[in-house]
Structures are given as C-alpha cells and as structure tokens.
Amino acid sequence: MTVIGTRLPRAEDPRLLRGRGRFGDDFSAPGQLWARVVRSPAAHGEVRDLDVTEARNVPGIAAVVTAGDLPRDLVIPVRLAIADTDLSGFLQPVLARDTVRYVGEPLAVVVGDDPYACEDAAELVGIDIGGRPAVLDARQDPPRVAAELTRGYGDPGAAFARAAHVVEIDLAIGRHSGVPLEPRCLLAVPGREPGELAIFGMTKVPVWNRDLLADLLGVDETLIRVHAIDAGGGFGVRGEFYPEDFLIPWLALRLDRPVKWAEDRAEHLMAVNHSRQQYHRIAAAFDAGGRILALTDDVVQDNGAYCRTHGVAVPELTVAMLPGPYRVPAYRGRVRVVLTNKTPCGTYRAPGRFEGTAAREHLLDVAATRLGLDPVELRQRNLLTRSEMPHERPISTLGTEMILDTGDYPALLAAAVAEAGRLGYRALSAGTALPTRKRRGFGLAMFVEKSGLGPQETADVTVSRSGTVHVYSGGTSLGQGIETVLTQIAADAIGADPGAIRVTAGDTAAQPFGAGSWASRSTVVGGSAVHQAALAVRRRAIELAARVLEAAEEDLDLAGGSVSVRGDPAVRLTLADLAKVAAPASRYLKEGEAAGLSARRRFEASHMTYPYGVHAAVVEVDSGTGRVRVLRYLVAYEVGCAINPMLVEGQLRGGVAQGIGGALLEEFRYDEDGQPQAITFIEYRLPTAAEIPPVDVLLCQESPSPGNPLGVMGAGEGGISAAGAAVANAVRDALGLPGSVGQLPLTPARVCALPGAIAGPGTGGRP
C-alpha cells in the first residue's frame, strides 16, 4: 500500500488540537529572566544620549545593556549572498550606536525577573535623538542605492524599435509582509560548559543561525543546540537572524541565567522584515500577431533602512523570474535597491514573484485591450509549449542556472479557463441585474514558481528497539505539515505504517546538516533525502533479515513493518526485531560492521524545479465606496506529485488568503515623520473569513519533476504568487479601465480614485 498521494490525517494535529503544541512562549526555564527591547521612537537621527540609570534602579531589573556593552561593529551578515553585490556598508547593527534609521530599531535591552516590570523599566530609558529628515519615498531624488542588479539577454532595444505595438504600464506594490499569528519568541538557556546554550525559538534555518551565533559569540557551534519547536507560521519572515537572535543568547551567557524574550504585536509589525514594496515600470514589445518580441522592467525596491539576511534576494528574484511562462526573445530587468527610513525588508512567501507576476500579468491584460485580443488568447500565443521544454533561460537566480524543467503551460491555462467556466465564474462576473454602483469583473493570471532550492539536504533515518522509525530532517515545522509529509515519504520507502514513523524536524543536535525550510524546498529536497535514507534502511533491514533467516535477500520483502519470505508470510521479522539484530552486541553483525539499523543520506539539487499555475478571480467593486469583494477564486496548479493532496490544497488556499490581503487590505503605511501607522491589527488588516471567498483548487500532477526521485515540486508559494495580479486584473475588468490600476493594495480610497469608479450605469462585467 502506498501512503504517498493519500489524504493522511496530519501527524501534527492531535497535539495542536489539544493545546499541547510547544510554541516559543510555551518554553520556560527555572530562574529565567525576561528581556524587553527598547526601540527607537524616531525614524532617523543621531543618538545623543541614552540614559539607563532610572531603568536600572527599578526593582527586579538585572541589567540594561546598550550598544556600548556589545562588541564593537557587530552587524548581522547576509545569508543569501549574491555574486557581485557588496552590502557590507548597509548591514544592521545588533543595537544602534550613533544613528537610528527606522522607528523600532533596537537601542537597548532591559532584563529582569518579571516581564511586566521589564516593560515598566524600558519606558524609563531616557532617549535623546537629534532628528534628521526621514526618507520615506524610495523614488526620491537622489536615491540612496544599496545595490543595482540587471538580469537579461538579447537586445530589447532593437526589438522595441521594430515592434508593431509597445505597451507600458506603471504598477506599485504595497509594503506588507508575512505577519504570522504567533509573534517571535526566544529562550536561551546556558549550560554547564562555558559557551553552552540551549535555544528554543529559532526556526526556518536553525543550523545556519546556530553557526552564525557561534561565530558571533566565538564559541564552538556544537556547544549550541537549537531545539525543534512548533512555530505559529513562518511565511519567510520568521527564523531569519534578527538582532534579538544575538542579544538574547549573549545575555544568557553574560548573566549566566536563562533569558526569555517574547515580542508583542506592535514590535513585530515594526521589527520583523517588511517586504514587497516595489515600483515597476514594465513594457513589452509585440509583433503584429501579438507575439512578445521583448520585455523590460525597471524596478525600484524600497528596502527600508538596512540590508538584512536576505541581502538582495528579493529584488534578484523579481527580475530573474519576471519573464515567467512566456517565450520572451529579449529581456532586461533592472532593479535598484533603495534604502529608506522604514523597517528593513526581507522575503515574504513568493518573494519577487508576487510582485513581478503582478506587474507582468497586469501588463498583459492592458496589452490585450490595446491589441484587441482576448487576454487568454494573448497568453496562449506567447506561452512556452511542451515541445520547448526544458527551457533554458540565460539567467541565474539564487546562484543557480534557470532551466524551466518541465510542464505544459498552454494545457494548464486551457484547463483553468475551462474549470472557471464550469464553475460559473464567467456568468457570475457578467452579473446581471446588479445595483448600479456594483460592477463585477473577471481576472486571470499565470505564473511560474520556483522550488526545491539546493544545494543539499541531509536526512537520518534510524529504527529504535520498539520498531519506531525515527526521521531526523533539517526542515522545520512552521505549520506546513512537514512531519506528515516526511512520514508519508518514509513510510512508503521503508515499507512501514505511517503510525510507526516519528519525524523530528529542526533540532540541530539530531540533524546537524539541515539547510532548513524555506523557498518551498522541504518536500522536494528534504523529502528526497528522507526517501533515500529510508530506502537505505530498508535495504539494510533486508540484508540483516537474510542473515537471520538464512534466506537470499531477493526472496525477502519488507512491508507493513516486517520482513517476510515471499510466499511464506509466517516467517517474518519486524523492524523491532531487526533493530535488535543490528544492536552493538548482536551476534549477527560481522566483524568491523557498524551497529544500528540506520542510514544518513544527502540529496543534492543543483537546479531548482519550477511548478506553475493559473489564478482566476471574480470580484465585485462598489464603485461608490471603492470596496472590492472577491466573490470566487480558483487556483490551478501543477505540483508534479502531491505527497498529500489535502496539504497541497491547504497551502494553496492559505496562500490565496494572504495574497488577497496583499492585493486589497494589508499595508504598512507611514506618516510624514516616518512614524509607522500600522502597529496593531486594527490598522494592519489581516483578512478575516468575511474577506476570503471559498477557493476552488484544480490540482494537477501531469508533469513530474525530473530532478528528484519523487517527482515533486514545491507547493508553499503557488497560492500567493499571482493573487495580486488576478485581483488587479479583475478590478480593472470590473471598472473597464484602459490602463493600469496603478497601485496595490486596492484600498477603497485608491479604487475611488480610479477613472471608472463613479457611481453610474454599470459598464463592468464584460466576461
């Protein structure tokens, strides 16, 4: 029986449903101190004085530290370095020393017995900042450019010169981010050895964070153990190395006490990576038949005050992935990474693709209008076909060559259009007998995702004496269901029931070589490593069973957790038996042979695998109030092989909800002094069930990835990639706009400012 492909109930659910999850703030240690970070109240200025005397005198306060207490020039380095960019002048210090550059920048830390008292004391820190003008618009002249990147090939200039049609639009993407429901939390517990630390709360890339922390503290990395925990959502932002990830462990060592820090929501919204804010000027040249001759995009990214661990990964992905699923003979994408006095940026689910897909797909809809073509027909004329696969694009991204590995883009687009028709999307968007102010529209967008970034992932599989199969993976549990997915993969590979598998994900002692959960890589790369390690354990089990049973290996089979002789099911050895057969003192081991029924395997991926999909939305726009409601939403997605279709659908649906948030609701706004205006859930509007429609999913498994043994592609980001594009296109359709909607999110005020948005006889609803 195969478990892969089934809707196996999640291994994570029972503990989470019973309140037995172990989230960051659920960990405590005897004698722990609490930390509170003192943050800059000013967007930009010189730190003239920090007076901590009064705070230090609050009863129960153990220490107040400022930049002067830290090693000098301590900055957080880039994790995803990209060739030819030097960001060393733009990195964030752990605590600001002379200058603050955004509201929320850490200035000091107060540590004490009680979190309430720490907050009191933090408010007593005297902060004197000499204000300087805050830069809040990345398009300001002259911009402070941290990096400029260009990706492309061919001669777009020549193509534009001979084009029959040239279409250009501007589109701005709003500043928003992952905003997981659980704020960050960190507990650092010093051990007996100097430098020894147990850490609870690092996720995503625990091994990388452990190694960096060890380097910054000057200790051997094996002294630090990052424990596996439950995390209340990741979405790219959680688990990167932030200033607090140095401060809390450092304080624990320095004070020789456990130190815990739990962020509040206001802190989270101004401290954790922002994302997305970009200004696109995108243009395409077409021949008379509507075929793309060239594509160009000029992008300005508002990166906030510093370059963080992602370096320039988001802007690079934006321009590298921009041509998407289309045949683009000539291309140039340029992006300037501009610093402003806002919270620094990093990745958020589908980084660069949400933004680039919105710009490109909106451009195509505007072009379809100009060229007098149906938007679907224009896309069909330009999609790469199956016969053109694999398609090598002379572009590198994240240090890998881009080879669109497999797929049938035109077929998926046709299937999505047919599915939307079958579900009545077109009729709904035509919306007969609507009140005059209401307009409906249909919008569609296509995208290519990337997944399975290497270079490697390592997995250990070992069988304990009870017959339990333990899987130690380097991925981390962020809510995506990795424990379930790896259980299914291991169960099939080894030949055991899922109930016999136990997955530990993200413990640096149990798996010291893990590369983490990000970039939709865990199922692809981590899953492949588990598959290989479990297959190796299976072979080993059969080898040992052959010795015990004095049978030939080819006569043995391993299924349901036991090895039996083919044709004689009465003779069998369970995995528990075989774990004992492999025990150190076993007489079945040969001389010099290592004990244990276990294997470690490393799966290497030199290229990414590229899933793809189509989003379609029906919206209703109130042209008087400017309110946009999404009535129906469809995602068609090629995933190669769905290990657990329920989880893939869940990823897609959850991604859509976040995407609709970014398209309509969520935005980090600032006032003219650089004060953040979205520091609670009242101003930062996460979508509720009232804003999210039922999401239809068309899950395709037609094009297995050739790059891994399971044929899988990642599914973490396909639900969000094209959401900005589909919603923007639907709103444009509803209002009958000739050009671009101009700016996301499409808040009521922005919609009201669009040309079609005046109460009057409806013109929307052209399907």
Partner 1 sequence: MSMHKISLRVNSREHELAVEARRTLADMLRHDLGYTGTHLGCEHGICGACTVLMDGQPVRACLVFGVQADGTEVRTVEGLADGEQLSDLQQAFSDHHALQCGFCTPGFLLLAEAYLAETSADALTEAQARELVASNLCRCTGYQGIIEAIVATARARRK
Residues of this chain that interact with ligand FES (CB under 6 A) are 181, 232-233, 479
Closest to ligand FES by CB, 233 or 767 = 233
Sign of CA dihedral 230, 233, 237, 243: negative
Cβ at position 658, least distance to ligand FES in Å:
11
Instruction: Count CA atoms closer than 13 A to 612's CA, side-chain side.
Output: 27
Please report whether residue 31 would count as binding partner 1 according to CB under 8 A: no
Cβ at position 232, least distance to ligand FES in Å:
6
State the Cα angle at 134 between 129 and 139, rounded to 5°.
Answer: 165
- What 3-state DSSP class applies to 64? strand
- What 3-state DSSP class applies to 657? helix
Please report whether residue 5 would count as binding partner 1 according to CB under 8 A: no
Please report whether residue 258 would count as binding partner 1 according to CB under 8 A: no
Cβ at position 653, least distance to partner 1 in Å:
4
Instruction: Count CA atoms closer than 13 A to 436's CA, side-chain side.
Output: 4
- What 3-state DSSP class applies to 186? strand
Closest to ligand FES by CB, 178 or 290 = 178
Please report whether residue 587 would count as binding partner 1 according to CB under 8 A: no
Could you say which of 150, 677, 688, 763 contacts partner 1 (CB under 8 A)? 688
Closest to partner 1 by CB, 619 or 737 = 619
What x/- string results for residues 632 through 651 when contact with partner 1 is judged by CB under 8 A? Answer: --------------xx-xx-
Could you say which of 93, 106, 156, 183 contacts partner 1 (CB under 8 A)? 183
Closest to partner 1 by CB, 235 or 242 = 235
Closest to partner 1 by CB, 28 or 53 = 28
DSSP secondary structure letters along 467-520 = S-EEEEES---SSS-HHHHHHHHHHHHHT--GGGEEEEES-TTT-TT---S-TT
What CA–CA distance (Å, rounded) separates 394 from 401? 7
- Among partner 1, ligand FES, none, partner that 547 touches (CB below 5 to 8 angstroms by kind): none
Please report whether residue 653 would count as binding partner 1 according to CB under 8 A: yes
Could you say which of 78, 138, 171, 231 contacts partner 1 (CB under 8 A)? 231
Which residue in the shown chain puts its C-beta closest to ligand FES? 181
Of 713, 728, 751, 505, nearest to 626 (Cα)?
A: 751
Could you say which of 181, 595, 753, 759 contacts partner 1 (CB under 8 A)? 181
* Residue 318 near residue 333 (C-beta atoms within 8 A): yes
* Residue 426 near residue 632 (C-beta atoms within 8 A): no
Closest to partner 1 by CB, 121 or 285 = 121
Q: Provide the token pair at 689.
A: 């069930």
Closest to partner 1 by CB, 232 or 352 = 232
Cβ at position 499, least distance to partner 1 in Å:
14
* Biggest alpha carbon–alpha carbon distance for the chain: 89
Residues 6+ apart with CB under 8 A from 272: 177, 178, 179, 184, 237, 238, 242, 263, 343
Angle, to 10 degrees, between the axis of helix 353-371 and the axis of helix 313-321? Answer: 30
- Among ligand FES, partner 1, none, partner that 218 touches (CB below 5 to 8 angstroms by kind): none
Please report whether residue 630 would count as binding partner 1 according to CB under 8 A: no
State the Cα angle at 58 between 54 and 62, rounded to 5°.
Answer: 105
What CA–CA distance (Å, rounded) separates 591 from 600? 21
Cβ at position 263, least distance to ligand FES in Å:
13
- Among partner 1, ligand FES, none, partner that 130 touches (CB below 5 to 8 angstroms by kind): none
The strand ranges marked E within 549-626 are 556-559, 562-565, 568-574, 598-604, 612-622
Please report whether residue 593 would count as binding partner 1 according to CB under 8 A: no
Cβ at position 462, least distance to partner 1 in Å:
27
Which strand ranges, in their side-by-side order, compose the sheet holding 469-473? 501-505, 469-473, 456-463, 598-604
What CA–CA distance (Å, rounded) separates 304 from 138? 9
What x/- string results for residues 432 through 471 when contact with partner 1 is judged by CB under 8 A? Answer: ----------------------------------------
Cβ at position 715, least distance to partner 1 in Å:
12
Please report whether residue 287 would count as binding partner 1 according to CB under 8 A: no
What CA–CA distance (Å, rounded) separates 291 from 165? 10
Q: Provide the token pair at 637.
A: 């997605």
Please report whether residue 627 would count as binding partner 1 according to CB under 8 A: no
Cβ at position 180, least distance to ligand FES in Å:
7
Please report whether residue 16 would count as binding partner 1 according to CB under 8 A: yes
Please report whether residue 30 would count as binding partner 1 according to CB under 8 A: no
What CA–CA distance (Å, rounded) separates 607 from 601? 19
Cβ at position 584, least distance to partner 1 in Å:
35
What x/- string results for residues 77 through 116 when contact with partner 1 is judged by CB under 8 A? Answer: ---------------------------------------x
What CA–CA distance (Å, rounded) separates 79 from 183? 22
What CA–CA distance (Å, rounded) separates 561 from 498? 10
Please report whether residue 755 would count as binding partner 1 according to CB under 8 A: no
Closest to partner 1 by CB, 520 or 562 = 520
Cβ at position 408, least distance to partner 1 in Å:
27
DSSP H or E run through 356: helix 353-371
Listed ranges 18-26, 359-367, 439-447, 520-528: which one lies at the site for partner 1 (CB under 8 A): 18-26
What CA–CA distance (Å, rounded) separates 602 from 270? 39
Please report whether residue 480 would count as binding partner 1 according to CB under 8 A: yes
Could you say which of 50, 78, 173, 179 contacts partner 1 (CB under 8 A)? 179
Cβ at position 205, least distance to partner 1 in Å:
18
Closest to partner 1 by CB, 254 or 685 = 685
Please report whether residue 264 would count as binding partner 1 according to CB under 8 A: yes
Q: What is the dihedral of CA 315, 318, 320, 325, to 10 degrees?
A: 180
Cβ at position 9, least distance to partner 1 in Å:
5
Residues 6+ apart with CB under 8 A from 383: 325, 326, 327, 409, 410, 413, 446
Please report whether residue 481 would count as binding partner 1 according to CB under 8 A: yes
Cβ at position 651, least distance to partner 1 in Å:
8
Q: Provide the token pair at 713.
A: 């592609």
Burial class, 108, CB count within 10 angstroms (exposed 0-12 / middle 13-18 / buried 19+):
buried
Polymer length in residues for the chain? 767
Cβ at position 34, least distance to partner 1 in Å:
10
- Among partner 1, ligand FES, none, partner that 200 touches (CB below 5 to 8 angstroms by kind): none
Of 475, 592, 476, 489, nearest to 538 (Cα)?
A: 489
- Among partner 1, ligand FES, none, partner that 569 touches (CB below 5 to 8 angstroms by kind): none
- Among partner 1, ligand FES, none, partner that 526 touches (CB below 5 to 8 angstroms by kind): none
Could you say which of 65, 486, 657, 730 contacts partner 1 (CB under 8 A)? 657
* Residue 526 near residue 44 (C-beta atoms within 8 A): no
What CA–CA distance (Å, rounded) separates 42 from 30? 37
Listed ranges 227-235, 373-381, 383-391, 611-619: which one lies at the site for partner 1 (CB under 8 A): 227-235
Q: Provide the token pair at 274.
A: 């922002």
Of 164, 406, 403, nearest to 287 (Cα)?
A: 164
* Residue 395 near residue 328 (C-beta atoms within 8 A): no
Please report whether residue 265 would count as binding partner 1 according to CB under 8 A: yes
Please report whether residue 656 would count as binding partner 1 according to CB under 8 A: yes
List interacting residues with partner 1 (CB under 8 A).
9-10, 12-14, 16-21, 23, 25-26, 28, 116, 179-183, 230-233, 235, 264-265, 478-481, 646-647, 649-650, 653-658, 680-682, 686, 688-690, 692, 694-695
